[in-house]
C-alpha cells in the first residue's frame, strides 16, 4: 500500500506543513486570512500561465501571487474601497480570469479538481525538491525578519519608532505568503491552502500562552494533519486537500475540549 | 551640546488639512519637554514626527539618535496573539532578564512577568509599557499620556519615576500629559500646542502667557499660581520639605 507516489506525497506534505505553521500564525495574528484566500485564488491564474508558457507551476504561481500581493498592498493605501471589498474583488476576478483562460487552452487537458482541491498523485520528485528548498528559503527569510515582523504585528507605531522598519518586513512577509502558496498548491489545491495555513495555527492558539509555543504547536498540528489526512485520503479514496483540512479541523475541535482549561486554571 | 532631536518649522498634512504646523523645538539630554494642549491639537502627531513614524510634510526633523523608546497613547494587543509580559518586554530589542525585572520593579508590576498581556488591566498594562521603554535605556524617551488608567497613588509614583529617569538614564524625555500639576512642577520646558505652537518656555513663563490662559481657561491657569510658590523649595518623596 505504500506506493512510491504516497511516500512522495508524505514527504512533500510534511514539508508544506513545516513551512505553513509559522506563516499561518502570522496570518492569524495579523488578520490576513482573507488576504491569504485572495493570493491563493490568484494562484489559479498562475497555473494557467505556467501551462501557457510551459514554465514551472510553483515559479509561475509565486510570480503571479507575488504581483497580486504587492498590488494589494499598494491599492490598500490608495483606494477608498474597504479592505475586504478590495480583497474580494481581486480574489474572484483573478479566479475568474484563470478559469476563463483554462477555457481557451482547450488543447491542454486540465485536471480542474486537482487544481482546486489538490492531487497527491501529481507530486513528483521535482515538486519535493521545490517544496523543501523553497521551504528552507522561506523559513530562513522569516527567521531573518522575525523580530521586525513580530514587533510590527504587536504594534506598528512602536515598531516604526524603535527602528524596526515595519514596512519592509510587511512587504517581505507578503511575498513569503505567496511563496508558501506556490509550493503547496499541488498538495492542497487553490481553494484550501488558506485552510492549512489557518486551522493548525488556530488549534495552536488554544494550547499556547506565548508566540514561540504557538508556532511549535502549529507546525506539529500541521504535520499530523498532513500525515493522517494522506493516509485517510488513500484509505477512503478521497481528495487529498479536503481530507487533510478535515483532519486539521478535528484537531482544532479537540483543542477546544475542556482538558486545556484545567491547565489554564492551574497556572 | 548637541540636541537629541530638532524640529524646524515642521508640519504634517493629512486628508486635506494640517494636523499640526510650524512646530519648532529642540530636546536635550536630561531634559523633560512637555506637550500640552486640547484633544486634536497635534500632540501625538508631533511625537510621531519626532519618532519618524510619520514624515513631516514641511519643515525639517533632525534626529541625532536612533535609540528611541516609545510609550504610545493607545495599544491594542490582538487576542489571537499569545503574548506574555516577558515576551512583550523584548519585542524590539534583546534585554537581559535582570534588567527586565529591574524595570518592571520600578513600575511595580514585576509579579506579572509571566502573565498574558491581554489579561492585564489598563493600568497594569500602562506600567508594563513604561517599564519596557525604560528597560531599553533609550537616549530619547517619548511618553504619550503614559499614566492613563493608572490609580491615583500609582500616578504620582510613576510621575516621580519619569522625573528621575531623565537623570538616571541620562536621556531626554518628551512627555504628552494632561496632568497640568506635574507639567508645571516638574518639567523643564512646556510647549502649548493647538494645531501650532501657541506658546512655549519654562512652566512659570507659560503659565503667565495670555495664549495659555485663553486655551486652558482662567480656572486652570489660576491653579497654577499655586505652583509659583513651590519654586522656592521642593518636596522629597515622603512629603518633607527640602530646600
Q: What does the buried/exposed string (b/e) look like for A43-75 if buried means 16 or more CB atoms within 10 Å of the residue's CB?
A: bbbbbbbbbeeeeebbebbbbbbbebbeebeee
Which residues from B are below 8 Å from A208, CB to CB?
82
User: What's the average model confidence in pLDDT over A161-189?
Assistant: 90
Q: Do A162 and B72 touch (CB under 8 A)?
A: no
Q: How confident is the model at residue B231 (pLDDT cuts 50, 70, 90)?
A: very low
Using DSSP's 3-state secondary structure scheme, residue B21 falls into strand
B158 or B231, greater pLDDT: B158
Q: What is the pLDDT of residue B150?
A: 86
A206 touches chain B (CB under 8 A): no
The domain tally of chain A equals: 1
Q: Using CA atoms, how far apart are residues A219 and A213, in angstroms rounded to an integer?
A: 10
Whether pLDDT at A224 is above 80: yes
pLDDT digits (tens, 9 = 90+) for B169-199: 889 999 998 888 888 888 888 898 888 888 8
Would you say residue A265 has pLDDT above 50?
A: no
Query: Nearest CA to CA, how far is B53 from chain A (Å)?
Result: 6
Give the mean pLDDT of A22-43.
90
State the DSSP string of A201-252.
Answer: HHHHHHH-SSHHHHHHHHHHHHHHHHHHHHHHHHHHT--HHHHHHHHHHHHH
Confidence of residue B224 (pLDDT cuts 50, 70, 90): low
Domain locations in chain B? 1-67+140-153+171-228, 73-137
pLDDT of amino acid B104: 93
CATH number at residue A163: 1.10.3470.10
Helix (H), strand (E) at residue A189: none
User: B102-116, pLDDT tens digit by residue?
Assistant: 999 988 898 999 999
How sure is the predictor about B218, in pLDDT bands with cuts at 50, 70 and 90?
low
**Is the minimum CB–CB distance between A151 and chain B shorter than 8 Å?**
yes
Per-residue confidence (pLDDT) for residue B222, from 0 to 100: 60
**Mean pLDDT value across residues B7-30:** 88
ipTM above 0.90, yes or no: no
Decide if pLDDT at B229 tops 80: no
**Minimum Cα–Cα distance from B83: chain A residue:** A210
Whether domain B1-67+140-153+171-228 has CATH 3.40.50.300: the reply is yes
pLDDT for residue A1 is more than 70: no
For residue B236, what pLDDT is reported?
A: 53
Q: What is the DSSP letter of B82?
A: -
Q: What is the mean pLDDT of residues A34-53?
A: 86
- pLDDT the model gives residue A116: 82
Rounded to a whole number of angstroms, the distance from the CA of A28 to the nearest CA of chain B is 7
Of the pLDDT bands very low, low, confident and very high (cuts 50, 70, 90), residue B232 is very low
Chain A contact for B73 (CB, 8 A cutoff): no
- What's the confidence (pLDDT) of residue A177? 93
Portion of chain B with pLDDT greater than 70, in percent: 89
What range defines the domain where residue A199 resides? 4-266
Closest approach of B218 to chain A, Cα-based (Å): 36
Q: Residue B234 pLDDT more than 80?
A: no
Q: Which of A155, A200, A252 has the most B C-beta neighbours within 10 Å, making it the best mutation to test the interface with B? A: A155
For residue A143, the model assigns a pLDDT of: 95
Residues in CB range of A228: below 8 A, 6 or more apart: A247
Minimum Cα–Cα distance from A163: chain B residue = B66
The residue with greater pLDDT, B1 or A215, is: A215
Amino acid at each position: 500500500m505504500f506506493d512510491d507516489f504516497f511516500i512522495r506525497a508524505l514527504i512533500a506534505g510534511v514539508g508544506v506543513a513545516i513551512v505553513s505553521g509559522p506563516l499561518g500564525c502570522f496570518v492569524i495574528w495579523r488578520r490576513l486570512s482573507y488576504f491569504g484566500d485572495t493570493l491563493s485564488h490568484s494562484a489559479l491564474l498562475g497555473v494557467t500561465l505556467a501551462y501557457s508558457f510551459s514554465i514551472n507551476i510553483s515559479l509561475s504561481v509565486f510570480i503571479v501571487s507575488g504581483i497580486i500581493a504587492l498590488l494589494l498592498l499598494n491599492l490598500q493605501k490608495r483606494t477608498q474601497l474597504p479592505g475586504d471589498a478590495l480583497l474580494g474583488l481581486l480574489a474572484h476576478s483573478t479566479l475568474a480570469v484563470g478559469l476563463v483562460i483554462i477555457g481557451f487552452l482547450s488543447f491542454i487537458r486540465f485536471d480542474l479538481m486537482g487544481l482546486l482541491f489538490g492531487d497527491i498523485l501529481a507530486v513528483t520528485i521535482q515538486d519535493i525538491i521545490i517544496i523543501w528548498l523553497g521551504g528552507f528559503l522561506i523559513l530562513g527569510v522569516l527567521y531573518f525578519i522575525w523580530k521586525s515582523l513580530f514587533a510590527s504585528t504587536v504594534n506598528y507605531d512602536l515598531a516604526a519608532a524603535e527602528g524596526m522598519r515595519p514596512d519592509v518586513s510587511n512587504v517581505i512577509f507578503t511575498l513569503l505568503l505567496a511563496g508558501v502558496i506556490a509550493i503547496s498548491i499541488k498538495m492542497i489545491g487553490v481553494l484550501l491552502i488558506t485552510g492549512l495555513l489557518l486551522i493548525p495555527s488556530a488549534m495552536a492558539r488554544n494550547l499556547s500562552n506565548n508566540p514561540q509555543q504557538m508556532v511549535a504547536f502549529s507546525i506539529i498540528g500541521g504535520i499530523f494533519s498532513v500525515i493522517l489526512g494522506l493516509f485517510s485520503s488513500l484509505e477512503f479514496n478521497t481528495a487529498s486537500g479536503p481530507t487533510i483540512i478535515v483532519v486539521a479541523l478535528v484537531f482544532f475541535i479537540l483543542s477546544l475540549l475542556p482538558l486545556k482549561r484545567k491547565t489554564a486554571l492551574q497556572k | 551640546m548637541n540636541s537629541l532631536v530638532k524640529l524646524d518649522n515642521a508640519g504634517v498634512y493629512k486628508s486635506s488639512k494640517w494636523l499640526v504646523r510650524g512646530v519648532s523645538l529642540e530636546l536635550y539630554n536630561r531634559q523633560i519637554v512637555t506637550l500640552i494642549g486640547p484633544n486634536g491639537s497635534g500632540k501625538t502627531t508631533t511625537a510621531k514626527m519626532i519618532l519618524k513614524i510619520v514624515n513631516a510634510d514641511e519643515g525639517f526633523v533632525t534626529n541625532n539618535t536612533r535609540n528611541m523608546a516609545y510609550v504610545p497613547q493607545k495599544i491594542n494587543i490582538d487576542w489571537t496573539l499569545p503574548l506574555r509580559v516577558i515576551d512583550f518586554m523584548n519585542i524590539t530589542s534583546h534585554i537581559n532578564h535582570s534588567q527586565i525585572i529591574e524595570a518592571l520593579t520600578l513600575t511595580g508590576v514585576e509579579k506579572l512577568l509571566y502573565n498574558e498581556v491581554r489579561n492585564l488591566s489598563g493600568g497594569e498594562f500602562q506600567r508594563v509599557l513604561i517599564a519596557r521603554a525604560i528597560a531599553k535605556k533609550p537616549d530619547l524617551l517619548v511618553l504619550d499620556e503614559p499614566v492613563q488608567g493608572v490609580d491615583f497613588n500609582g500616578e504620582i509614583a510613576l510621575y516621580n519615576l519619569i522625573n528621575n529617569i531623565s537623570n538616571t538614564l541620562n536621556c531626554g524625555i518628551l512627555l504628552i500629559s494632561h496632568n497640568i500639576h506635574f507639567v508645571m512642577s516638574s518639567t523643564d520646558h512646556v510647549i502649548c500646542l493647538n494645531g501650532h505652537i501657541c506658546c512655549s518656555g519654562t512652566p512659570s513663563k507659560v503659565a503667565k502667557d495670555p495664549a495659555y490662559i485663553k486655551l486652558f481657561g482662567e480656572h486652570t491657569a489660576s491653579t497654577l499660581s499655586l505652583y509659583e510658590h513651590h519654586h522656592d523649595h521642593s518636596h522629597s518623596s515622603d512629603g518633607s520639605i527640602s530646600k
